[in-house]
């Protein structure tokens, strides 16, 4: 009797999980599909007929493409800044003793837990009161993006550091490596995957952000802002093209990350 | 074996760990990141408080007039939106937990060598523009689409109409579709902390449970569930709080009847010439609500598990 | 003077380490001659690993000094000491292959051309064919040899081994013990081996120091420690001992006589740590033989009568007996299986042994010290 129950239970889990996976993936599939649609009206919601038009003319709306350029630029700068700052914090937390750990933990947790709209509006008031209401723009967007992605970088790098054998650095010192040499030759190579993952994460968070960005953007228009604003009057297939491109790049990235692992396991 | 009785070398400290002298290095490493957060996260909370009691307009500038009326105005004028935000967030959090726990459990205990890949697949959709993905639901749930047609045929839409979740056979632009979209967007935020905490559980504890007379369900109830509780709480915090302020789903998948507080804040801040102070007031309320919840958690469970 | 060039014996004077109120190492005085194979033996928590870490520089002493030859290295950083460690978990760099792991120390010291030295040392440990592999692709025993090679190649004045064979299975461990001894004899470096396995220590070391609660109980060659232990701790920790409480009744012609539970026992005076008062008589189980109650016991031997066999375990090489004595104590006897008939439990027997194999310890010591592994620190 229990055997049958176990079978059902084991497979219910599989069944439910598969359903949830489909739920998560469906919109991506739809987006991919509809990038090949020629919408009958201004909204790309209903299938009309197959066409590669959108892929051939991705920048039919020049506003959209300039917003993409802006988003990518901001994302790159924010990625570099938050990765550097966040990695430094992660190292300090994992390798040293210092006072104020609780304060630091809470300070890092809050931006992940807080509603984006509160971070956006409070930043807006900060800039209004310090640099004036005309100061909103590229710089303020970058500042905001670094602010909210910092915590995610710290968490990611911290996790990687935690998985590192602490005796390795001692072994290096035992083998005549000065602290700088130990860092360069042992610590850094082993943490690098975590740092890269954190960089990618902060890039993704930045390029996709709407709420905080719109409140600190002033007159600039990023890609998410473009999509949101134009949603009221049109949703062209080009938007699905951009979304699909982002998806494919992400999937390619994940695949390439797995390849060295697969090769390693095959060889051994 | 000679015993030399010279004075001890001066580097020896009196007790404990002499190597860890007052080291400045950690503080130097922490400074830039911490300063960034203090200046651009903490201090703005204070400027927002100050802004919330200002009056004026975008053209003429704002001045502090101690206009506390903004706070009472928030609750009186916008109480529908506040209620919407709370109800949708609670519904979203609960549903995310119900759906996310089995998924996290499955990946953690049945995933085997595919664990990392499966988790990557759960997170990956989140890496493509969530605005566009939310828009995709417009297609999937559109009245002309297969999904809704099936639901109408099966009378599911009828039932949902009776429950007040939707109007007529129209699934979109309803409270249902808003919460649906929220669940979709926030599910990874629930699953990730749940998975992290479930993954740490030694599977041999399950065996110990079975050995000590627990059935499958009871093993979960008395062994797995308590051990996964930190992950559950973290997942709940990381879902509920951001959900309260979220309005993308309400905007794209909702209707004028499903307005939430986030939309109000954006409108007042960006589109109302006089609205900046009241938007700040609402932001302050949300911020302190968040702080209260997080600090209550830290008091109970300490801060080490947070990150 | 450049500490990396220090040469000579390893000397520890008054070496102490305290962690808050807990003293891990208590005023250790030790001199280890250059080129010897030295073992620090003790149960977990006795301070041996802490001592090792202080010698390597990975731990700072609370008090005391460390010298290599005439050069003091007490506060020198680990990367400036001519000391290398073979870690318990090997600590091989996972991102480097075997060749680069082994070459690591040489390169950090600025040696440009490492090929010959690396090839030679890999040949010494018989791993030349695996030079391009990564540590995770090697077995436990192979990783262990890489760890040894990585340290040896630097020709340190002192090579520290922190329970390096703990993770290996029995047969492999035996093999590695012989290997390490052979390597040490070949290269002539000072090896300091930390272990809790007394068989290992006795197999490999020229000199053993038994440590207990941060201090040395006895220092000497394996034979000295085994055949003539100085304290009950050493007697119980190293192998097994039969310890019987008694009182000295006299000393004459280099022979000490003792009265124990109504029996008369004699031992050479140089093997007794006390000459009056309370004494603990000791004899190793393999030195003792059993005689049936009707058998004749040869003259000149110490005899204890009235025992009853309570357990007889056939081990293959020997039979291990437990004999219950009239005063309640159970004594152990290991008899080689030379074909003699085995005494069944319940048989009345007498124990006898060559008096010159007896040792005498201070009667005020704890007769159980070192016998059981305690969770708390011994003493």
For residue A32, give both structure tokens: 């991919």
Q: A72-77 — which CB contacts under 8 Å span 24+ positions?
A: A72/A207, A74/A138, A74/A141, A74/A142, A74/A145, A74/A206, A74/A207, A74/A222, A75/A145, A75/A203, A75/A206, A75/A207, A76/A203, A77/A142
- Identify the burial level of A207 via C-beta atoms within 10 angstroms of its C-beta, where 0-12 means exposed, 13-18 middle and 19 or more buried: buried
pTM of the full structure: 0.80
User: Is A175 within 8 Å of C108 when comparing Cβ atoms?
Assistant: yes
Contact of B301 with chain A, judged by CB distance below 8 Å, is answered with no
User: Is B12 within 8 Å of C62 when comparing Cβ atoms?
Assistant: yes
Q: Phi and psi (nearest 5°) for C25?
A: -130, 125
Which chains have 3+ CB pairs within 8 A of C?
A: A, B
ipTM of the complex: 0.86
Q: Which of B29, B215, B287 sits opposite A118 (nearest CB)?
A: B287
Q: Report residue C269 CA to chain centroid gap.
A: 26
Q: What is the pLDDT of residue A184?
A: 93
Contacts across the A-C interface (CB distance below 8 Å): 66
Q: How far apart are CA C224 and CA C208, in angstroms?
A: 9
Q: What is the pLDDT of residue A141?
A: 96
- Written as tens digits, the pLDDT of chain C (379 aa) is 678 888 889 999 999 999 988 999 999 999 999 999 999 999 888 889 999 999 999 999 999 999 999 999 999 989 999 999 999 889 999 999 999 999 999 999 888 899 999 999 999 888 999 999 999 999 988 999 999 999 999 999 999 999 988 888 888 888 888 888 888 988 889 999 999 988 899 989 999 999 999 999 999 999 999 999 999 999 999 989 999 999 999 998 899 999 999 999 999 999 999 988 999 999 999 999 999 888 888 888 999 999 999 999 999 899 999 999 999 999 999 999 988 888 999 999 999 999 999 999 998 888 888 887 554 444 4
Contact of B35 with chain A, judged by CB distance below 8 Å, is answered with no
Contact of C62 with chain B, judged by CB distance below 8 Å, is answered with yes
User: Is B18 within 8 Å of C29 when comparing Cβ atoms?
Assistant: no
User: Is A242 within 8 Å of B280 when comparing Cβ atoms?
Assistant: no
3-state DSSP call for residue C277?
A: coil
The per-residue pLDDT for range B247-300, each reduced to its tens digit, is 999 998 988 888 999 999 998 888 887 888 888 889 998 889 888 988 888 888
User: Is A177 within 8 Å of C58 when comparing Cβ atoms?
Assistant: no
Q: Report residue B235 CA to chain centroid gap.
A: 7
C297: left (phi over 0), alpha (psi -120 to 50) or beta: beta
Chain A's closest residue to C87, CA to CA, is A171
Cβ B104 vs Cβ B195: under 8 Å: yes
Which chains have 3+ CB pairs within 8 A of B?
A: A, C
Chain C residue numbers with beta carbons less than 8 Å from the beta carbon of B1 are 29-31, 219
Contact of B59 with chain A, judged by CB distance below 8 Å, is answered with no
3-state DSSP call for residue C249?
A: strand
Contact of B141 with chain A, judged by CB distance below 8 Å, is answered with no
Chain C's closest residue to A189, CA to CA, is C95
The shortest C-alpha distance from A70 to chain B (Å) reads 15
User: Is B23 within 8 Å of A96 when comparing Cβ atoms?
Assistant: yes
User: Residue C310: enclosing H or E segment and its boundaries?
Assistant: strand C301-314
Q: How confident is the model at residue B94 (pLDDT cuts 50, 70, 90)?
A: very high
Chain B residue numbers with beta carbons less than 8 Å from the beta carbon of A150 are 33, 36-37
The shortest C-alpha distance from B117 to chain C (Å) reads 22
User: Is B33 within 8 Å of A91 when comparing Cβ atoms?
Assistant: no
Chain A residue numbers with beta carbons less than 8 Å from the beta carbon of C80 are 176
Chain C residue numbers with beta carbons less than 8 Å from the beta carbon of A188 are none
Q: Which of C19, C29, C59 sits opposite B3 (nearest CB)?
A: C29
The shortest C-alpha distance from B75 to chain A (Å) reads 17
Q: Which of A13, A224, A231 sits opposite B110 (nearest CB)?
A: A13
Q: How far apart are CA B280 and CA B257, in angstroms?
A: 24
- Closest to C79 measured CA to CA, from C108, C54, C112, C41: C108
The shortest C-alpha distance from A171 to chain B (Å) reads 17
Which chains have 3+ CB pairs within 8 A of A?
A: B, C
Is the model more confident about B267 or about B145?
B267
Q: In what order do the strands lie in the sheet with C318-324?
A: C289-292, C348-354, C301-314, C318-324, C330-336
Contact of B5 with chain A, judged by CB distance below 8 Å, is answered with no
The per-residue pLDDT for range B26-54, each reduced to its tens digit, is 999 999 999 999 999 999 999 988 888 88
Interface mutation target, options C16, C56, C61, C77, chain B, most CBs of B under 10 Å: C61
Chain C's closest residue to B11, CA to CA, is C75
């Amino acid at each position: 009797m229990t055997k049958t129950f176990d079978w059902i239970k084991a497979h219910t889990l599989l069944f439910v999980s598969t359903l949830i996976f489909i739920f998560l993936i469906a919109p991506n599939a739809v987006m991919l599909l509809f990038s090949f649609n020629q919408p009958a009206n201004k909204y790309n919601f209903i299938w009309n007929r197959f066409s590669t038009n959108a892929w051939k003319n991705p920048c039919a709306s020049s506003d959209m493409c300039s917003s993409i350029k802006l988003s990518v630029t901001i994302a790159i700068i924010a990625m570099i800044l938050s990765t550097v700052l966040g990695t430094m914090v992660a190292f300090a937390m994992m390798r040293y003793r210092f006072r104020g750990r609780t304060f630091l933990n809470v300070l890092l947790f809050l931006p992940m837990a807080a509603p984006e709209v509160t971070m956006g509006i409070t930043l807006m008031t900060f800039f209004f009161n310090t640099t004036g209401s005309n100061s909103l723009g590229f710089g303020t967007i970058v500042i905001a993006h670094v602010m909210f992605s910092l915590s995610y970088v710290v968490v990611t790098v911290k996790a990687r550091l935690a998985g590192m054998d602490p005796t390795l650095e001692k072994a290096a010192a035992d083998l005549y490596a000065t602290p700088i040499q130990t860092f360069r030759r042992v610590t850094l190579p082993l943490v690098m995957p975590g740092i890269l993952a954190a960089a990618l994460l902060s890039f993704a968070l930045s390029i996709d952000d709407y709420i905080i960005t719109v409140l600190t953007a002033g007159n600039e228009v990023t890609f998410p802002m473009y999509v949101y604003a134009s949603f009221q009057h049109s949703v062209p297939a080009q938007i699905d093209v951009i979304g699909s491109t982002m998806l494919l790049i992400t999937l390619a990235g994940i695949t390439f990350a797995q390849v060295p692992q697969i090769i390693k396991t095959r060889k051994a | 074996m000679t015993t030399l009785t010279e004075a001890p070398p001066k580097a020896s400290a009196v007790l404990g760990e002499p190597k860890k002298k007052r080291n400045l290095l950690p503080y130097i490493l922490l400074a830039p990141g911490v300063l960034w957060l203090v200046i651009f996260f903490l201090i703005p909370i204070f400027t927002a408080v100050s802004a919330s009691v200002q009056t004026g307009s975008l053209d003429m500038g704002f001045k502090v007039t101690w206009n506390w009326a903004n706070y009472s105005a928030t609750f009186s004028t916008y109480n529908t939106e506040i209620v919407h935000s709370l109800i949708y967030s609670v519904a979203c959090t609960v549903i995310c937990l119900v759906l996310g726990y089995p998924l996290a459990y499955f990946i953690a205990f049945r995933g085997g060598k595919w664990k990392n890949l499966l988790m990557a697949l759960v997170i990956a959709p989140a890496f493509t523009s969530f605005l566009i993905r939310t828009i995709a639901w417009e297609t999937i749930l559109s009245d002309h689409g297969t999904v809704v047609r099936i639901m109408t045929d099966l009378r599911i839409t009828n039932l949902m109409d009776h429950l007040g979740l939707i109007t007529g056979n129209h699934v979109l632009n309803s409270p249902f579709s808003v919460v649906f979209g929220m669940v979709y967007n926030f599910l990874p935020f629930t699953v990730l902390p749940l998975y992290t905490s479930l993954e740490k559980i030694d599977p041999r504890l399950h065996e110990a449970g079975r050995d000590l007379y627990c059935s499958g369900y009871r093993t979960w109830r008395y062994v797995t569930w308590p051990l996964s509780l930190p992950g559950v709480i973290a997942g709940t915090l990381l879902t509920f709080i951001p959900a309260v302020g979220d309005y993308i789903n309400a905007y794209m998948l909702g209707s004028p009847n499903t307005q939430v507080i986030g939309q109000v804040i954006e409108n007042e801040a960006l589109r109302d010439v006089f609205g900046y102070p009241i938007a700040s007031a609402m932001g302050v309320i949300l911020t302190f609500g968040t702080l209260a919840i997080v600090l209550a958690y830290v008091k109970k469970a300490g801060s080490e598990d947070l990150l | 003077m450049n500490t990396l060039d220090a040469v000579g014996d390893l000397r520890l004077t008054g070496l102490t380490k305290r962690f808050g109120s807990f003293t891990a190492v208590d005023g250790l005085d030790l001199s280890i001659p250059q080129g010897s194979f030295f073992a620090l033996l003790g149960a977990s928590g006795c301070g041996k690993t802490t001592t090792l870490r202080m010698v390597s520089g990975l731990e700072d002493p609370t008090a005391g000094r460390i010298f290599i030859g005439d050069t003091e290295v007490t506060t020198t950083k680990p990367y400036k000491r001519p000391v290398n460690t073979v870690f318990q978990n090997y600590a091989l760099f996972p991102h480097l292959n075997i060749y680069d792991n082994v070459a690591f120390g040489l390169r950090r010291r600025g040696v440009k051309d490492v090929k010959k030295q690396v090839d030679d040392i890999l040949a010494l440990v018989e791993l030349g064919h695996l030079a391009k592999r990564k540590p995770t692709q090697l077995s436990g025993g192979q990783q262990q040899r890489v760890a040894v090679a990585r340290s040896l190649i630097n020709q340190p004045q002192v090579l520290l081994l922190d329970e390096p064979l703990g993770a290996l299975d029995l047969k492999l461990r035996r093999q590695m013990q012989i290997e390490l001894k052979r390597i040490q004899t070949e290269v002539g470096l000072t090896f300091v081996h930390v272990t809790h396995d007394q068989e290992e220590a006795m197999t490999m070391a020229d000199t053993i120091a038994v440590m207990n609660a941060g201090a040395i109980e006895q220092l000497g060659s394996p034979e000295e420690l085994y055949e003539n232990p100085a304290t009950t701790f050493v007697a119980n920790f190293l192998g097994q001992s039969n310890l019987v409480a008694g009182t000295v009744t006299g000393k004459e012609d280099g022979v000490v006589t003792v009265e124990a539970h109504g029996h008369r026992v004699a031992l050479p005076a140089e093997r007794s740590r006390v000459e009056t008062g309370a004494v603990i008589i000791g004899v190793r189980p393999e030195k003792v033989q059993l005689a049936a109650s009707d058998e004749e016991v040869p003259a000149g031997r110490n005899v204890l009568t009235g025992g009853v066999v309570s357990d007889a375990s056939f081990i293959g090489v020997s039979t291990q007996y437990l004999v219950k004595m009239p005063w309640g104590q159970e004594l152990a006897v290991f008899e080689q299986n030379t074909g003699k008939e085995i005494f069944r439990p319940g048989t009345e027997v007498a124990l006898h042994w060559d008096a010159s194999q007896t040792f005498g310890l201070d009667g005020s010591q704890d007769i159980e010290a070192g016998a059981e592994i305690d969770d708390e620190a011994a003493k």
